[in-house]
């Protein structure tokens, strides 16, 4: 399963897949989920709910099954990620570690590791970063696959067609 980071939803809404322009994209996400291919986690849902906008309205209406629950495997993966962030990643500043452990990113990576899922994010690797632990770098350190939204959409076969063009 592909697990979407909040930035995959937010950027799509704010740019190329706004609800007014590409409602089919949002429907496709729902269909991909119903096929067991796509989802996210509760912490991402919480981030999306911080705004009162069409995205939060849409996310609120998704089935509970869209949001992968934390289980014993996730808890174990959280512990491993925390140990890595606090002890095995010495280049990060303390604030970067603290921010990471308080983030949805931390929980997203743990859920992906525990469930053998793929993380989908717009973040780009920056292994020399000291101020922020980025999803691709944490994924790489924990052998979790991490890809861009467009790569995920290609792998999942997303096809959007214009049926009302020129009307």
87 pLDDT higher than 90 = no
CA distances from 163 to 123, 152, 160, 167 (A): 32, 24, 9, 9
- For the chain, what are the domain ranges? 2-156
Q: Which residue has the higher pLDDT, 106 or 88?
A: 106
Tens digit of each residue's pLDDT (9 = 90 or more) over 17-53: 999 999 999 999 999 999 999 999 999 999 999 999 9
- Check residue 118 and give its pLDDT: 98
Would you tell me which CATH number, out of the four given (3.40.30.10, 3.20.20.80, 3.40.50.20, 3.40.50.1010), belongs to the domain 2-156?
3.40.50.1010
- Check residue 89 and give its pLDDT: 64
Whole-prediction pTM: 0.92
**Phi/psi at 63 (5° precision):** -65, 150
Tens digit of each residue's pLDDT (9 = 90 or more) over 97-112: 999 999 999 999 999 9
- Check residue 128 and give its pLDDT: 79
């Amino acid at each position: 399963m592909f697990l979407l980071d909040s930035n995959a939803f937010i950027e799509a809404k704010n740019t190329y897949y706004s609800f007014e322009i590409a409602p089919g994209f949002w429907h496709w996400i729902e269909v991909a989920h119903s096929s067991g291919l796509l989802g996210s986690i509760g912490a991402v849902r919480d981030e999306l709910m911080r705004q009162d906008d069409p995205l939060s309205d849409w996310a609120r209406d998704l089935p509970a099954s869209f949001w992968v629950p934390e289980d014993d495997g996730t808890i174990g993966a959280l512990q491993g990620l925390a140990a890595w962030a606090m002890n095995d990643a010495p280049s990060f500043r303390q604030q970067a570690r603290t921010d990471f452990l308080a983030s949805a990113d931390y929980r997203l990576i743990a859920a992906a590791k525990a469930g053998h899922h793929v993380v989908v994010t717009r973040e780009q690797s920056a292994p020399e970063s000291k101020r922020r632990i980025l999803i691709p770098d944490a994924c790489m350190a924990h052998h979790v696959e991490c890809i861009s939204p467009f790569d995920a959409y290609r792998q999942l076969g997303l096809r959007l067609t214009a049926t009302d063009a020129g009307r």
